[in-house]
Amino acid sequence: MIALRVFHPSDLGTLHEIDQICFPAGIAYSKSELRYYLQHPKSLAVVAEEDGAISGFCIGQSYLLEGKPVGHIITIDVLPAARRQGIGKQLFSDIEKRLQQAGALFIQLEVAIDNLSAQAFYDDMGFERIGRIPGYYNGKVDALVMEKSFINVEEP
């Protein structure tokens, strides 16, 4: 059974290893970058664990944009062996709920133009494509900007 919990500083090494497995060089974060995002005061980080082993994590941030609260997904990582079991959806839904509780009116994220499986995941999670950033990843790979609005969304 998968259990979600908040990030503990002692998780950093494991989360860095997972990020290196999940993303190629130039997209994966360095340990110092990951530490920055995990420890940022506006960050929210959730870890998925099964039998004491971490299988994935998600980091989001809340901030003000033109005086309005918004959310941003920094990364979502699930080990290849743990994919297609709903862990990504659980992680993402938890961060989404936390960002919404923090007052976010919408959430944005970037995804590599060639990462079709991630794009399909975000489509399923209710995101829409709103833009493109040339050379966002390592100066070579474009990113799609995707957004999910909470305005006029009714809670179940």
The pLDDT tens digits for 34-82 are: 999 999 999 999 999 988 899 999 999 999 988 999 999 999 999 998 8
pTM beyond cutoff 0.85: yes
| Domain spans, the chain | 3-149
Quick one: fold of 3-149?
Aminopeptidase (3.40.630)
pLDDT recorded at residue 112: 92
Confidence of residue 96 (pLDDT cuts 50, 70, 90): very high
For residue 111, pLDDT beyond 80: yes
Written as one string, the DSSP assignment of 44-95 is EEEEEEETTEEEEEEEEEEEEETTEEEEEEEEEEE-GGGTTSSHHHHHHHHH
